[in-house]
């Protein structure tokens, strides 16, 4: 079992933002009303023009506070149920082994990655000092396991590839991270909220949050725009940003951000720098905006790019974005039928995260209970015993051997394997001449082996014997 430091990196609204000790980003109905009119609250939350990767100045310089534990909503873009269940459900012991990175999520993800680097280096050094070598002699090289919620995964990827974080990282688990962005960000940043949202709310929120570099970096980097052209086009195609009323500089910065990660990863791989295990977890089965159609003056948000049924997602992040591009296919992502808001709090997801944090060497400790090898001949003689053996198999597997017709529909024999006195199991089967399938299966564990055996007649066997 590993004893790595576990670092949680929240996403948007994962951390409270404080002004003189008071949380200014808690959008109760009263706070929302104050946010949408000229006020101190509005000035504190908006970032200065041209901030890029820098830090805010003046009254908009807010301090990261506690991790959010109660539900929070940014209308039109994202919601989550807080991190209370996640922190409690992981049950990391001792508590010093768990660290939560709290940051100003309005800022560029490059800025946050720089701060993450300093945070991780400090906390890992403290954990390495803290760990009891007497009790954990196998913990001579603790590294970091990152659990990244939503946008937090983008912060971590930039840190790993562009800022040297690969050297001290063992595993990265991303929960609903928009690795290629989210088309929902187009809707939000252009003020085109879902039908029924008052225009004054959507326009005001788009103006305020449009000053956040982090949200611009959530725009989709995949081909998300359908035009008169038969093939979807990227946001940086000529004229697309203007037709959607998106700032060109924001779109260019998003593509540059992803390109920096991609190029750095390529250099790191070529230099054979230490790698890390990437475990994406995503939500699926829910109607999710995948792109936008811009034909003439009409703009529509799309839930699929073809005429089939709606493509899936977690209601915020589409499946094609919840999977990192380096994994090439959505088959490598662990899918759960939960919404973006609740993904990090559901029991099955927490169970998976606990296993990731423990990093047990499964093959060494667990596989022998349900794995077994089978020895059987390729060629047998009709009517003669055909020996089936499983060396070192556990009798508790309750193995049985069956002789099946080639199509699997007819069973000629079905025998239990018994201890052979040498630490394994064995049985004998007899079959008439023909091509048969031998199946050895544990009904208890549902695992098994199949192989083909050719059974010859006695006369044929005699004719080829020396």
**Predicted confidence (pLDDT) per residue in 273-319, tens digit:** 989 999 999 998 888 999 999 998 889 999 888 766 667 898 899 99
Q: Which of 343, 360, 377 is the last residue of a domain?
A: 360
Q: Which of 300, 329, 360 is the last residue of a domain?
A: 360
Q: How far is CA 387 from CA 110, 112, 377, 450, in A?
A: 64, 64, 8, 15
Given a contact cutoff of 8 angstroms between Cβ atoms, the answer to whether 416 and 399 are in contact is yes
Q: In what order do the strands lie in the sheet with 418-419?
A: 386-390, 425-429, 418-419
Cα(423)–Cα(162) distance, rounded to whole angstroms? Answer: 53
Indicate the DSSP class of residue 311: P
**Predicted confidence (pLDDT) per residue in 312-321, tens digit:** 898 899 998 9
Cα(123)–Cα(168) distance, rounded to whole angstroms? Answer: 12
Considering the domain architecture, whether residues 289 and 320 belong to the same structural domain is answered as yes
Arithmetic mean of pLDDT over the chain: 86
Hey, is 308 helix, strand or coil?
coil
Considering the domain architecture, whether residues 278 and 377 belong to the same structural domain is answered as no
pLDDT of residue 307: 67
Tokens 């296919």 locate to: 329
The secondary element (H helix, E strand) that includes residue 352 is helix 347-358
Considering the domain architecture, whether residues 187 and 300 belong to the same structural domain is answered as yes
Given a contact cutoff of 8 angstroms between Cβ atoms, the answer to whether 170 and 144 are in contact is yes
pLDDT of residue 455: 87
Considering the domain architecture, whether residues 122 and 250 belong to the same structural domain is answered as yes
Considering the domain architecture, whether residues 10 and 131 belong to the same structural domain is answered as yes
Cα(49)–Cα(97) distance, rounded to whole angstroms? Answer: 39
pLDDT of residue 137: 54
Considering the domain architecture, whether residues 23 and 123 belong to the same structural domain is answered as yes
How many residues comprise the chain?
A: 466
356: left (phi over 0), alpha (psi -120 to 50) or beta: alpha
Beta bridge partners of 449: 440
Residue 13's domain spans which residues?
5-360
Given a contact cutoff of 8 angstroms between Cβ atoms, the answer to whether 121 and 76 are in contact is no
Alpha-helical segments (H) within 245-292: 248-270
Omega of the bond leading into 187 within 30 degrees of 0 (cis)? no
**Predicted confidence (pLDDT) per residue in 169-193, tens digit:** 999 999 999 999 999 999 989 988 7
Considering the domain architecture, whether residues 97 and 120 belong to the same structural domain is answered as yes
pLDDT of residue 461: 43
Q: Give just the sign of the alpha carbon dihedral 25, 28, 30, 33.
A: positive
What CATH number corresponds to the domain at position 452?
2.60.40.1930
Give the number of domains in the chain: 2
pLDDT of residue 158: 98
Helix axis angle, 248-270 to 152-162, nearest 10°? 50
Pairing state of beta strands 379-381 and 447-456?
Answer: parallel
C-alpha closest to that of 261 among 148, 153, 159 = 159
The secondary element (H helix, E strand) that includes residue 67 is strand 63-67
Tokens 């079992």 locate to: 1
| Entry pTM | 0.76
Q: Which of 333, 360, 387 is the last residue of a domain?
A: 360
pLDDT of residue 423: 85
Considering the domain architecture, whether residues 325 and 381 belong to the same structural domain is answered as no
Cα(153)–Cα(155) distance, rounded to whole angstroms? Answer: 5
pLDDT of residue 370: 56
Tokens 């982090």 locate to: 214
Instruction: Enumerate residue ranges in the chain where pLDDT < 70.
Output: 1-2, 29-38, 132-140, 194-197, 307-310, 359-371, 445-447, 458-466
What CATH number corresponds to the domain at position 114?
3.40.50.1820
pLDDT of residue 465: 40
Q: How far is CA 29 from CA 22, 24, 75, 412, in A?
A: 17, 13, 11, 73
Considering the domain architecture, whether residues 343 and 429 belong to the same structural domain is answered as no
Hey, is 19 helix, strand or coil?
strand
Considering the domain architecture, whether residues 138 and 100 belong to the same structural domain is answered as yes
pLDDT of residue 371: 63
Task: Using CA atoms of 351, 86, 356, 281 in order, give the dihedral in degrees to the nearest 10.
Answer: 80
Considering the domain architecture, whether residues 443 and 331 belong to the same structural domain is answered as no
pLDDT of residue 139: 56
Considering the domain architecture, whether residues 356 and 407 belong to the same structural domain is answered as no
> Up-side HSE of residue 93: CA atoms within 13 Å toward CB?
2
Given a contact cutoff of 8 angstroms between Cβ atoms, the answer to whether 344 and 72 are in contact is no
187-206: string of b/e by CB count within 10 Å (b at 16+)?
bbbbbbbeeeeeeebbbbbb
pLDDT of residue 18: 93
């Amino acid at each position: 079992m590993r004893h790595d430091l576990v670092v949680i990196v929240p996403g948007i609204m994962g951390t409270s933002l404080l002004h003189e000790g008071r949380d200014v980003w808690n959008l109760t109905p009263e706070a929302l009303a104050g946010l949408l009119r000229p006020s101190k609250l509005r000035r504190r939350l908006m970032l200065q023009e041209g901030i890029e990767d820098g830090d805010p100045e003046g009254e908009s310089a807010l301090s990261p506070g506690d991790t959010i534990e109660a539900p929070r909503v940014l209308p039109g873009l994202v919601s989550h149920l807080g991190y209370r269940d996640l922190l409690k459900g992981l049950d990391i012991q001792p508590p010093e082994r768990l660290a939560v990175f709290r940051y100003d999520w309005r800022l560029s993800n490059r800025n946050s990655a720089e701060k993450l680097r300093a945070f991780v280096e400090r906390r890992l050094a403290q954990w390495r000092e803290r760990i009891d070598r007497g009790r954990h002699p196998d913990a001579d090289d603790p590294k970091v396991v990152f659990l990244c919620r939503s946008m937090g995964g983008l912060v971590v990827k930039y840190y790993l590839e562009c800022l040297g974080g690969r050297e001290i990282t063992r595993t990265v688990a991303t929960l609903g991270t928009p690795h290629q962005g989210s088309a929902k960000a187009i809707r939000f940043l252009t003020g085109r909220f879902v039908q029924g949202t008052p225009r004054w709310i959507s326009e005001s929120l788009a103006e305020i949050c449009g000053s956040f570099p982090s949200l611009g970096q959530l725009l989709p980097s995949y081909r998300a725009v359908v035009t008169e052209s038969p093939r979807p086009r990227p946001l940086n195609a000529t004229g697309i940003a203007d037709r959607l009323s998106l700032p060109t500089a924001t779109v260019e910065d998003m593509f540059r951000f992803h390109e920096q990660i991609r190029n750095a990863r390529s250099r790191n791989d070529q230099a054979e720098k230490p790698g890390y295990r990437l475990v994406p977890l995503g939500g699926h089965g829910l109607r999710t905006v995948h792109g936008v159609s811009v034909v003439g003056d009409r703009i529509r948000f799309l839930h699929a790019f073809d005429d089939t049924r709606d493509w899936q997602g977690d209601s915020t992040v589409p499946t094609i974005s919840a999977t990192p591009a380096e994994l090439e296919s959505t088959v490598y992502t662990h899918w759960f039928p939960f919404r973006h808001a609740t993904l990090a709090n559901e029991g099955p997801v927490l169970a998976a995260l606990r296993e990731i944090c423990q990093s047990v060497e499964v093959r060494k400790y667990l596989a022998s209970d349900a794995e077994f090898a089978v020895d059987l001949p390729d060629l047998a003689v009709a009517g003669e015993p055909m020996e089936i053996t499983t060396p070192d198999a556990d009798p508790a597997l309750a193995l049985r051997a069956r002789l099946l017709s080639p199509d699997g529909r007819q069973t000629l024999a079905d025998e239990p394997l018994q201890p052979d006195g040498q630490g394994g199991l064995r049985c004998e089967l007899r079959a008439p001449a023909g091509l048969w399938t031998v199946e050895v299966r544990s009904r208890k564990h549902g695992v098994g082996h199949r192989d083909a055996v050719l059974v010859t007649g006695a006369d044929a066997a005699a004719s080829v014997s020396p």
